[in-house]
Amino acid sequence: MYIYNVTSNIDESIHEQWLSWMKESHIPDMLATGKFSAAKLCRVLIEEEMGGVTYSVQYTTTSKDELEKYYKEDAPRLRQEAMKLFADKILAFRTELEVISEH
């Protein structure tokens, strides 16, 4: 199992709008690609020097191949939508995680 983690710092001026969009539109769109079986939206409990509010979204997928298919078939469209709506008010970075064990 793999986790595609997207950590985003959100400018406070668009925080509520972004959070609603994530819950009502973006996360459902990600799951609708069929490449992810679950998603967790988490608030990161740190205070950033640059301000804003930080979140981590963890999308679970079965294989590295499914993740690669997402990058090729869906990522450009879904990332473009976020940029169109929020432009420079979001700073995001992505991390791939391989689950070794669960207890």
- Selection from 69, 52, 38 nearest residue 7 by Cα: 52
Q: Domains (ranges, CATH) in the chain?
A: 2-97 (3.30.70.100)
pLDDT tens, residue by residue, 50-95: 789 999 999 999 999 999 999 999 999 999 999 999 988 999 999 9
pTM to 2 decimal places: 0.92
* Pair 39, 33: CB distance under 8 Å: no
pLDDT tops 80 at residue 31: yes
